[in-house]
Amino acid sequence: MNNKLIMISVISLLFKILLLFAFLSTYADASSNYVSIDIEKLDYKKPDSNRGEAGNLIFPQVRLSWDEMKISLDNNSSFLDANIKVNPRYIKFKTSGLGFTFPLESESGFFKVNGATLENSSFILNQDFFNFSGEKFSVTNGTSKLILDKFNVYCNGEDDMTSGKGLIKGCLTDLILNGLNEGDLAGATIDYYDSTANGENIFLSSRLKSFELKSSKFKLDLNQAHLEVLNYNIDIGTADISCEKESKLYELDVDRLKNACVDKTEIHAPHIKIKDKETGSGFDISLEQLKTEKNSIEAVLPSVEINGEEGKTTKLSSIKIDCFKKENYEFYDLHKIISGCVENGQIDIDGISTVGAKTEQQFAKKLNVTFENNLVILDMKIKLPLIPQFKFNVEAYVRHDQDNKTLTFDIIRYKTIKILSWRYALRKALEFYVKGNDKMYMDDKKIVIQL
């Protein structure tokens, strides 16, 4: 659920950035070949009824080419500091001696923007490419807010980039988002505030080295990201994320963008921390690789630490997952992934141990789980206090109920040492995967786990 919100946030963010490009393109009328503006400061606030004073703009210089005419404006002595006025059809920049009026396209996203600020930024747009960079940029539509620090965006297109359609096509085929300065290791900073459909706040703060889109591949080189959603704080350290895009997709179709991405993704994220703010419990995850294809998902995790509510930590080491995935199923939706694994999958875990302040006690090792058409075979070696290590094997039918978020195992047969009941052994094993027994029900033939 949380991962789903991350992805929705990222897609929503991408959508809003591209919407912003379309919004900015309204400044470049179709008859203009070229616009280059350096902006020292912009404060824009949408007036009531989309009519009236809307802020001010300070720009050191403007270069415009209008058909065959070149216009150069250098704002010496601040004589071009401008007040902004809007009405539903026009935006006007009024200086002490000049007025610049630009028509607004009726379908433009201009009035979806409630407020925007810019500091020390530069904006270049011509038929061939688009470049937007600056120290600080923020834009809000009233419910969400996007802030960029020390950023640079470049898009290149074959169609006329001064049209909204051409700009979006260009930015969906050749895009770079990175830091303002080459030597700045921190890269660009993106802060994003929004709320879910249920009204819960989302906050995403990330620093990225680069986000690139070339023809049919997104590539994100992340320095770090912090996400606050529901009760959770999620921190991701350095990460490389790449995924596919339909090469001929030239419009902002969020579903098609998402589907192509989830069906061919590759992620390397060695440090992921998820923490429940209320209970203090959480996960420390090291993800060496996650790879999806249309019908499969593979993951290699050197370690996963589950931090319980009472300070108990369970450590799973060297995990390999290879599962069936339905086409377009999101890899960040736990239940969709479980449903695929249950259909056909293999999960191997080298060791499971409990970790104390100074001790680490191994509970189980060589855990192999094979799923085939809802039949599961589980093999592992278990070590319990006062009992020698023993092998445990169980075969069961498994049902995954996505609506009720449960996994039900109907036991067919089991094999373990005779002094233990299978229920005792299995209960001990499963306690390592669930927080408490209240999330697990067991009778003579059935185990139900509430996920």
Partner 1 sequence: MKKMMVLVLLLASSYSFASIRCTGNNIDIKVNPLAKSLQISGKYEGTINSLRGSGIEYFGTASSGNFRSLTLFVDGVDSELTVIGSNGRASGIISVDCN
Closer residue to partner 1 (CB): 127 or 353: 127
Identity of the residue, 130 or 192, whose beta carbon is nearer to partner 1 in the bound complex:
130
Return the number of the residue (33 or 140) whose C-beta is nearest partner 1: 33
Residue type, 120: N
**Minimum Å distance from CB 62 to partner 1?**
11
Nearer of residues 50 and 210 to partner 1, judged by Cβ: 210
CB of 69 to partner 1, least distance (A): 8
Rounded Cα distance, 373 and 399, in Å:
10
Residues in region 83-142 near partner 1 by CB under 8 A: 122, 124, 126-129, 131, 133
Shortest reach from residue 3's CB to partner 1, in Å: 29
Q: Going residue by residue from 51 to 90, which x/- string records binding to partner 1, judged by CB under 8 A?
A: ----------x-x-x--xxx-x------------------
What mask, x for binding partner 1 by CB under 8 A, covers residues 8 to 37? -------------------------xx-x-
Nearer to partner 1, 61 or 295 (CB): 61
Q: Kindly state the smallest distance separating residue 19's Cβ from partner 1, in Å.
A: 20
Rounded to a whole number of angstroms, the CA Rg of the chain reads 27
User: Which of 9/162 has CB closer to partner 1?
Assistant: 162
**Least distance between partner 1 and beta carbon 132 (Å):** 9
- The Cα–Cα gap between 128 and 156 comes to 6
Q: Smaller CB distance to partner 1: residue 47 or 60?
A: 60
Angle, helices 2-24 vs 164-171, to 10°: value is 140
Q: Smallest distance from the beta carbon of 307 to partner 1, in angstroms? A: 40
- Stretch 140-179 residues interacting with partner 1 (CB under 8 A): 152-154, 156, 176, 178
Does residue 50 touch partner 1 according to CB under 8 A?
A: no
Of 87, 26, 81, whose CA–CA distance to 52 is shortest?
A: 87
In 3D space, the residue among 394, 345, 335, 333 whose CA is nearest the CA of residue 374 turns out to be: 345
Q: At what angle do helices 254-263 and 2-24 cross, to 10 degrees?
A: 130
Q: Which of residues 180-219 bind partner 1 (CB under 8 A)?
A: 180, 182
Question: Based on CB atoms, which residue is closest to partner 1, 114 or 131?
Answer: 131
Report the residue number, 96 or 181, with the smaller CB distance to partner 1. Answer: 181
Could you say which residues in the range 397-416 bind partner 1, by CB under 8 A? none
- How many residues make contact with partner 1 (CB under 8 A)? 26
**CB of residue 72 to partner 1, shortest distance in Å:** 7
Chain positions 286 to 305 lying near partner 1, rule: CB under 8 A, are none
Alpha-carbon distance 146 to 205, whole Å?
A: 10
Contact footprint for partner 1 (CB under 8 A): 33-34, 36, 61, 63, 65, 68-70, 72, 122, 124, 126-129, 131, 133, 152-154, 156, 176, 178, 180, 182
